[in-house]
């Protein structure tokens, strides 16, 4: 059996490098994860059920459950932003240069 090499990636950028992913996709992925994490924090803070959060956001319970569980496949950034807005959270982006 071949020896397996253990690789540790501590940031999204390191993971992109290890997996040879497009850095632009990784930035978008990281942004979505941050949005989803903030949604989960607010839902927990307000002690909302998945169904209650979904109703507030105008989306399905299954989509809300996916978001709250970090399952972001087929979840748009637009939807995440709308969910945050429905929870009374305003997103204020900041911009910085990344290493080229």
pLDDT tens-digit map of 30-65: 899 999 999 999 999 999 999 999 999 999 999 999
Mean pLDDT of 82-90: 96
> Which position has the higher pLDDT, 4 or 89?
89
Contact between 80 and 33 under an 8 Å Cβ cutoff? The reply is no
pTM: 0.80
**Which residues does 50 contact at the CB level (< 8 Å), separation at least 6?**
43, 61, 64, 65, 68
Sign for the CA dihedral angle at 84, 62, 34, 21 comes to negative
List the domains of the chain with CATH numbers.
12-86 (1.10.260.40)
Task: Calculate the average pLDDT of the chain.
Answer: 90
Residue 99 has pLDDT above 70, yes or no: no
Query: Residue 17 — very low, low, confident or very high, per pLDDT cuts 50/70/90?
Result: confident
């Amino acid at each position: 059996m071949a020896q397996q090499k253990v690789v540790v990636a501590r940031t999204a950028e390191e993971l992109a490098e290890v997996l040879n992913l497009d850095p632009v996709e990784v930035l978008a992925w990281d942004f979505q994860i941050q949005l989803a994490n903030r949604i989960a924090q607010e839902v927990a803070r307000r002690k909302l059920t998945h169904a209650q959060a979904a109703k507030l956001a105008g989306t399905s319970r299954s989509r809300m459950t996916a978001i709250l569980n970090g399952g972001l496949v087929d979840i748009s950034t637009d939807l995440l932003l709308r969910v945050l807005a429905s929870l009374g959270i305003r997103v204020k982006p900041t911009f910085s240069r990344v290493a080229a």
